[in-house]
Amino acid sequence: MNINNLINPSVTKLKSYNPGLSMEAVKKKYNLDSVTKLASNENPFGPAATIDDIKNENVSLERYPDATSESLIESIASTYSLSEQSIILGNGSDELLQMIGQCFLNPKDEVLTVQPTFSIYKLVSTICAATYKEIPLNNFQYDIPALLQAITPKTKLIFLANPNNPTGTLLTQSDIEQILSKLTNGILVLDQAYAEFASDPSYGNGIPFIQTHKNVCVLQTFSKLYGLAGLRLGYALGHPELISLIAKLKMPFNVNSMALKAGTIALKNKKFIQKTLDNNETEKAFIYAEFDRLKISYVETHANFILFYGDWFAADVTEKLLQKGIIVRPLNSFGLPNAIRVSIGTRDQNQNFIDTLTLCLNQKES
């Protein structure tokens, strides 16, 4: 029997996600004592709820988690003044993206998004055998006229990250209004993984739209601001009717007991949240100033990472950085072979990144 013939044809087309090397793998490969990871937009201060905090909550690992996730859903509802029926939790927002795809997409349905953006939208659309349409960004910014023109009555799902990954650029409230007024027969998914970092008044938060539009779904995550990427916890906000459709796809115990406890603790940790946001603003300005000094081009960001580019092949630069213990993300897989994404870290991490980058670029020139 040739098992390759048994595969679902949409699965044949899938390319596995490449998360890059782990810190341990980099240490081992290059024989390094320490590495600085600024590649996955994680929180440089660690988690907003520590393992000790979770331990104090007496999690019973021998029991299944609370399938209703009541306590965390209550906390999220009160954070946003929303009803509990407007919220569903996922094993990271990745899982919610997959549930949304499976909930709404039939083969050949049209999905609309931009390029470059978060790769999971394509993965989910491919799994569902949908037709995937990408509108190029214009000078790294959303091209709203082109997006509007691409929306047709066949558009079933629109995935837009706001701020976008890997550019850090944003949609305004008016952009969202215009998109919604053209979208007559589909769902708009606003992926707000980095929303909390967007301090600019022009940022269009999708949450108010869920009160007025049944076809808007907002995704948020505990992986970035709250530093809980390792526990896998995200949530979708939407009209209760929309959430009840997505809930049909939910596996009963998709969120584990430790994540449920950690989420509730993290939401209350205002001091940690403020420290993270303050650091992001200060360190964004520091990296901009250093890039200006080094004459490196970059895109102004509304998130916790910065895209920078130059007259180089990014994978060569990131490989040199890797050898010196700095992990950043080359953006060739996003179709940007001369661009790199660096997460905003602590001052020590950022200084180390800038010093090592300077060294690597000088090495290139010699």
Cβ–Cβ under 8 Å, residues 340 and 318: yes
Supply 104's token pair: 């709404």
Q: Is the Cβ of residue 93 or residue 254 nearer to ligand PLP in the bound state? A: 93
Question: ∠ CA 353-359-363 to the nearest 5 degrees?
Answer: 140
Nearer to ligand PLP, 307 or 354 (CB): 307
The answer to whether 93 contacts ligand PLP (rule: CB under 6 A) is yes
Handedness of CA 114, 166, 94, 241 (dihedral sign): negative
Query: Cis before residue 136, ω within 30 degrees of 0?
Result: no
Nearer to ligand PLP (CB atom), residue 93 or residue 280 = 93
- Contact characters 290-319, ligand PLP, x per CB under 6 A: ------------------------------
Please give the residues from 242 up to 281 whose contact with ligand PLP meets the rule CB under 6 A: none
* Pair 235, 219: CB distance under 8 Å: yes
Number of residues that bind ligand PLP (CB under 6 A): 13
The residue within the footprint of ligand PLP, chosen from 165, 301, 349, 352 (CB under 6 A), is 165
Which of 43, 113, 125, 221 touches ligand PLP (CB under 6 A)?
Answer: 221
309 φ, ψ (degrees, to nearest 5): -150, 165
Report the b/e string of 20-49 with b at 16+ CB within 10 A.
bbeeeebeeeeeeeebbbbbbbbbbeebbb
Residue 94 found at the interface with ligand PLP (CB under 6 A): yes
Residue 168 sits in the site that holds ligand PLP (CB under 6 A): no
Give me the sign of the Cα torsion angle 321, 324, 327, 332.
Answer: positive
Region near ligand PLP per CB under 6 A, out of 4-12, 88-96, 128-136, 318-326 = 88-96
CA-nearest of 221, 165, 219 to 187 is 219
Q: Dig out the tokens for 362 from the structure.
A: 């000088």
Q: Which of 76, 161, 258, 265 binds ligand PLP (CB under 6 A)?
A: 161
- The answer to the question of residue 41 lying near ligand PLP (CB under 6 A) is yes
- Nearest distance from residue 234's CB to ligand PLP, in Å? 4
229 part of the interface to ligand PLP, by CB under 6 A: yes
Which residue of 193, 266, 317, 321 would you call a contact of ligand PLP, by CB under 6 A?
Answer: 193
Residues that bind ligand PLP (CB under 6 A): 41, 92-94, 118, 161, 165, 191, 193, 221, 223, 229, 234
